[in-house]
């Protein structure tokens, strides 16, 4: 099965360039194109357009499925423990593979600590709530600390050096760099199939900082959406978990509104996945709440951030 447009059969470099120039740079874009549009835009025969559209749809498994098939697909989803039973319960058992999970909340609400914890816990054997896998950690804010990995790994009964060796870390310097890393991830993970979680902490900060002002909102959103869809595809193709974080200001006056809309952007609104809002509580306690997940009951749970990591 093709994993990107480069793999489509009978598509040489010339046609590939035409497709990309015409904006059909992903399997998704091709899968939902009309044969006529694609044929004209890329200057290829109609029959070729029809053929590659079909191939793209097959690759993405776009077809009618029975509900039973959908159920069976979902049963294959695997879960990574957060080290808090309450938080796992809220998430329906833990962080899911084939899914993008977003943690959003104010500064200090625990987003980065959860990312550290998952990059350790993914390494645990399945009977302890892991996937015996490795982690990719993309850090945009410079808040990754190996000391925290060491402490959490020890507390989880893992050898700290081995645990650190199983985390592929990259600092993203700006949004273009972040997107370029995203572009390269597919190849990286194809070569390193033991990677079972990809973390981007935070996914939004560079975009917010670089695209300021109303007039830049649309451009920002377009770039961010492309990046997010890329990550979603990774989750689906490689059966891995994707975790993103998103810092939003606490706005007590907006308590009843959607907190992400309140800070100027339907940031991650149109991308499927699970969204978890984090809030500070007393001391080391934090509150987690699921936001608009179709299959999970609404509710709040309390967890704690300790020296050993995330706990109940």
Q: Which stretch binds ligand ADP (CB under 6 A): 6-14, 45-53, 166-174, 299-307?
A: 299-307
Nearest to 165 by CA among 150, 176, 143: 150
Q: Which stretch binds ligand ADP (CB under 6 A): 37-45, 128-136, 164-172, 303-311?
A: 303-311
Shortest distance in whole angstroms from residue 202 CB to Mg ion: 6
Question: Is residue 305 a contact point for ligand ADP (CB under 6 A)?
Answer: yes
Which of 26/117 has CB closer to ligand ADP? 117
212 binds, among ligand ADP, Mg ion, none (CB under 5 to 8 A by kind): none
Which of 25/143 has CB closer to Mg ion? 143
269 binds, among ligand ADP, Mg ion, none (CB under 5 to 8 A by kind): none
The Cα 166–Cα 63 span in angstroms is 37
Listed in sequence order, the residues at least 6 apart from 121 whose beta carbon sits closer than 8 Å to its beta carbon are 80, 81, 82, 83, 129, 130, 156
What single string gives the DSSP state of each residue in the chain?
Answer: --SSGGGSTT--HHHHHHHHHTT--SHHHHHTS-HHHHHHHHT--HHHHHHHHHHHHHHTT-S---HHHHHHHHHT--EE--S-HHHHHHTTSSEETTEEEEEEESTTSSHHHHHHHHHHHTTS-GGGT--S-EEEEEESSS---HHHHHHHHHHTT--HHHHHHTEEEEE--SHHHHHHHHHHHHHHHHH-TTEEEEEEETSSHHHHHHS-SGGGHHHHHHHHHHHHHHHHHHHHHHT-EEEEEEE----GGGTTS-HHHHTT--TTTTS-SEEEEEEE-STTEEEEEEES-TTS---EEEEEEETTEEE-
Shortest distance in whole angstroms from residue 73 CB to Mg ion: 33
Interface mask toward Mg ion for 136-175; x: CB under 5 A:
-------x--------------------------------
Which of 97/112 has CB closer to Mg ion? 112
By CB under 5 A, name the one of 82, 99, 101, 112 that touches Mg ion: 112
Which of 110/129 has CB closer to Mg ion? 110
Shortest distance in whole angstroms from residue 138 CB to ligand ADP: 14
User: Scanning residues 256 to 285, which ones bind ligand ADP (CB under 6 A)?
Assistant: 284
Question: Is residue 119 a contact point for Mg ion (CB under 5 A)?
Answer: no
User: Scanning residues 81 to 120, which ones bind ligand ADP (CB under 6 A)?
Assistant: 105, 107-113
Shortest distance in whole angstroms from residue 261 CB to Mg ion: 21
Interface mask toward Mg ion for 79-98; x: CB under 5 A:
--------------------
192 binds, among ligand ADP, Mg ion, none (CB under 5 to 8 A by kind): none
Residue 219: C-alpha distances to residues 90, 215, 224 (Å): 35, 8, 9
Shortest distance in whole angstroms from residue 273 CB to ligand ADP: 18
Binding site for ligand ADP (CB under 6 A): 105, 107-113, 284, 305-307
Binding site for Mg ion (CB under 5 A): 111-112, 143
């Amino acid at each position: 099965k093709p994993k990107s447009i480069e793999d489509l059969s009978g598509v040489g470099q010339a046609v590939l360039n035409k497709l990309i120039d015409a904006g059909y740079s992903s399997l998704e874009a091709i899968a939902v194109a009309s044969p006529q549009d694609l044929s004209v835009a890329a200057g290829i025969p109609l029959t070729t357009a029809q053929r590659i559209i079909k191939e793209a749809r097959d690759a993405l498994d776009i077809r009618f499925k029975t509900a039973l098939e959908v159920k069976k697909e979902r049963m294959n989803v695997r879960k990574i423990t957060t080290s808090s039973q309450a938080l796992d319960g809220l998430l329906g058992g833990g962080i899911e593979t084939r899914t993008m999970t977003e943690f959003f909340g104010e500064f200090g609400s625990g987003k980065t600590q959860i990312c550290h914890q998952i990059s350790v816990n993914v390494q645990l054997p399945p009977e302890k709530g892991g996937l015996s896998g490795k982690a990719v950690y993309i850090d945009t804010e410079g808040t990754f600390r190996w000391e925290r990995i060491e402490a959490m790994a020890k507390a989880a009964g893992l050898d700290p050096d081995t645990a650190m060796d199983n985390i592929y870390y990259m600092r993203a310097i700006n949004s273009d760099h972040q997107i370029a890393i995203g572009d390269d991830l597919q190849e990286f993970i194809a070569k390193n199939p033991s990677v079972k979680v990809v973390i981007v902490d935070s996914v939004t900060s560079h975009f917010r900082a670089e695209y300021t002002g109303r007039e830049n909102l649309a451009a920002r959103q377009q770039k961010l959406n492309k990046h997010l869809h890329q990550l979603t595809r990774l989750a689906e193709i490689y059966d891995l978990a994707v975790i993103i974080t998103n810092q939003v200001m606490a706005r007590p006056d907006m308590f009843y509104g959607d907190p992400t809309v309140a800070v100027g952007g339907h940031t991650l609104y149109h991308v499927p996945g699970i969204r978890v809002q984090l809030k500070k509580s007393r001391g080391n306690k934090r509150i987690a709440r699921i936001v608009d997940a179709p299959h999970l009951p609404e509710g709040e749970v309390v967890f704690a951030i300790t020296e050993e990591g995330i706990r109940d």
